[in-house]
Amino acid sequence: MEALRQAFEAIIAACDTLLKSSLTEQQQGDVLAMRQAVQDISKHVDSAAAQLPKPPTNLVATVRSPLTILIGYAEVLLDRTTLDDTQRHHVATILREARPLLSQIENAFGLDQDRTEPLA
């Protein structure tokens, strides 16, 4: 769980640095929302880890979905907005930390198995 905590901290630090840069008002609001989402996800992961080996059933909604949305938004921010090199670096840091974090969380809590189940 220490690796997860470090990834969360790296994402939050990247968001904090982005917030100190010259972003548009919309981008600032979006980065603040991303930062809050990461903090919320971190709390849910800590709570679920305390309940192992039977984590709560709502982890997909409280962890995987918001983290997937955060990754998608960071990709859009990186691809479709005008950011300076420093801002692009921090958004890339968010993506570099968030992608494996999602995979680690899925593996730790068995969420990766949910994807293989057929839709009813």
CB 90 within 8 A of CB 16: no
Check: CB of residue 55 under 8 Å from CB of residue 109: yes
Domains in the chain, please, with CATH? 2-114 (1.20.1270)
- Mean pLDDT across the chain: 84
* Cα dist from 71 to 4, 36, 49, 56, 76, whole Å: 16, 14, 22, 23, 9
Quick one: average pLDDT of 110-117?
58
- The pLDDT score that the predictor gives to residue 116 is 47
Res 117: pLDDT: 47
Give yes or no for a contact between 104 and 3, defined as CB atoms under 8 angstroms apart: yes
- The model's pTM: 0.77
Task: Give tens-digit pLDDT for 47-97.
Answer: 888 887 777 677 777 888 888 989 998 998 888 778 889 999 999 999 999
